[in-house]
């Protein structure tokens, strides 16, 4: 069994979080350290530590994450202006929490995707 992170506790409502969507497959909640006016994390309820651990059995959950991202972007009023979806993987990818998650960021101009330095 992969190791639990605080995201499992959020999914089980054991620690506080602003949950914006939840069903049997995924949970979406506000990032505690928002980097933009809208910053939501969309996570599979099942623990998948990183993208490297994804298997074909996860395809439905991962596809559903995009469907919910689009729904939340509409609800947040950022769909027309645009937004960014990010999935960090491993140390070089800047991943801090080892429970796969998609960042939904928007509500301001986000600029270039990567700083070229």
Residues in contact with ligand AMP by the rule CB under 6 A: 6, 17, 29, 31-33, 41, 88, 94-97
Please, which residue, 28 or 73, has the CB nearer to ligand AMP? 28
Please, which residue, 80 or 96, has the CB nearer to ligand AMP? 96
Among residues 13, 39, 64, 101, the one annotated as catalytic is 101
101 is catalytic: yes
d(CA 22, CA 68): 10
Three-state SS at 64: helix
Output the smallest distance, CB 109 to ligand AMP, in A. Answer: 19
Please, which residue, 80 or 114, has the CB nearer to ligand AMP? 114
d(CA 61, CA 93): 22
d(CA 99, CA 114): 23
Three-state SS at 43: strand
- Residues catalogued as catalytic: 101
């Amino acid at each position: 069994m992969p190791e639990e992170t605080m995201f499992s506790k959020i999914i089980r409502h054991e620690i506080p979080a602003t949950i914006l969507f939840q069903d049997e497959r995924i949970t979406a909640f506000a990032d505690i350290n928002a980097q933009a006016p809208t910053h939501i994390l969309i996570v599979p309820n099942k623990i998948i530590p990183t993208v490297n651990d994804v298997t074909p059995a996860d395809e439905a959950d991962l596809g559903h994450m995009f469907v919910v991202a689009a729904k939340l972007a509409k609800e947040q009023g950022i769909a027309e202006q645009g937004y960014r979806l990010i999935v960090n993987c491993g140390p070089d990818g800047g991943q801090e929490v080892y429970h796969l998650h998609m960042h939904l960021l928007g509500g301001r101009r986000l600029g270039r995707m990567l700083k070229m330095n």
